[in-house]
Chains A and B, each alone.
Chain A
Amino acid sequence: MTLFSDASFFILLAVAIVPAAVIGLTEHSLRHYGVVLSAVLVAAAFWGQPVQALGLVAYLVLSRCALCWLARDPKSERRFVAASLVTLCPLLVYKVSAVFSLSLWGFIGISYITFKGIQTVMETHDGLITRKDLGFEDWLYFLLFFPQFSSGPIDRSRRFAADAHGIPSRDEYAGLLARGILLLLLGAVYKMVIATLIHRYYSPTVWGTGDFGTELWAQVKTAYLYGGYLFFDFAGYSFMAMGASYCLGIRCPRNFRAPFIATDIFDFWNRWHITLSTWFRDFVFMRITRWLVRRRSSRAASVWPNAVFWPTCSSWASGMALQLTTLGMVSFTACFSRQRKASRSALGSTRLTAMTSGSGFSHGS
Chain B
Amino acid sequence: MAEMTHEELTAKVMDLLEDVCGDDEVRRHMDDDLFGLDLLDSIAAVELLVGIEDEFGISIAPTEVPRNEMNTPDKIIDQVEKRL
Contacts and interface: CB of A to CB of B under 8 A. Distances in A.
Contact of B49 (A290, A299, A339): A290
Nearest to A125: B61
Interface in B35-69: 42-43, 45-47, 49-50, 61-64
Sort chain B's interface into a size bin. Answer: 10 to 19
Contacts of A126: 61, 63-64
A114 B73 CA distance: 35
Contact of A128 (B45, B50, B61): B61
Interface string A118-129: 010011001110
Given A286-B42, A302-B43, A305-B43, A128 B49 contact: no
B63 A282 contact: yes
A257 interface: no
Contact of B62 (A156, A282, A299, A339): A282
Interface string A312-325: 00000000000000
Which of B42, B45, B63 has the largest number of chain A CB atoms within 10 A? B63
Interface string A63-74: 000000000000
A122 B45 CA distance: 18
A200 interface: no
B47 A281 contact: no
A64 to B, nearest CB: 21
Nearest to A281: B42
Contact of B43 (A123, A289, A294): A289
Which of A156, A281, A290 has the largest number of chain B CB atoms within 10 A? A290
A293 B52 CA distance: 12
Contacts of B42: 281, 285-286, 289
Contacts of A119: 63
A282 B49 CA distance: 13
A294 B62 contact: no
Nearest to A126: B61
A33 interface: no
Nearest to A282: B63
Contacts of A294: 50
A349 B47 CA distance: 27
A283 B42 CA distance: 12
Given A281-B42, A285-B42, A299-B43, A290 B63 contact: no
B50 A283 contact: no
A127 B50 CA distance: 16
A165 interface: no
A302 B20 CA distance: 13
Contacts of B49: 290
A287 B62 contact: yes
A293 B50 contact: yes
Nearest to A286: B62
A126 B61 CA distance: 6
B43 A283 contact: no
Given A290-B49, A293-B50, A128 B64 contact: yes
Interface of B: 42-43, 45-47, 49-50, 61-64
12 contacts: A123-B61, A128-B61, A281-B42, A282-B62, A286-B45, A286-B46, A286-B62, A287-B62, A289-B46, A294-B50, A299-B47, A305-B43
Given A293-B50, A305-B43, 18 more contacts: A123-B61, A126-B64, A127-B61, A128-B61, A128-B63, A156-B63, A281-B42, A282-B63, A285-B42, A286-B42, A286-B62, A289-B42, A289-B46, A290-B46, A290-B49, A293-B46, A293-B47, A294-B50
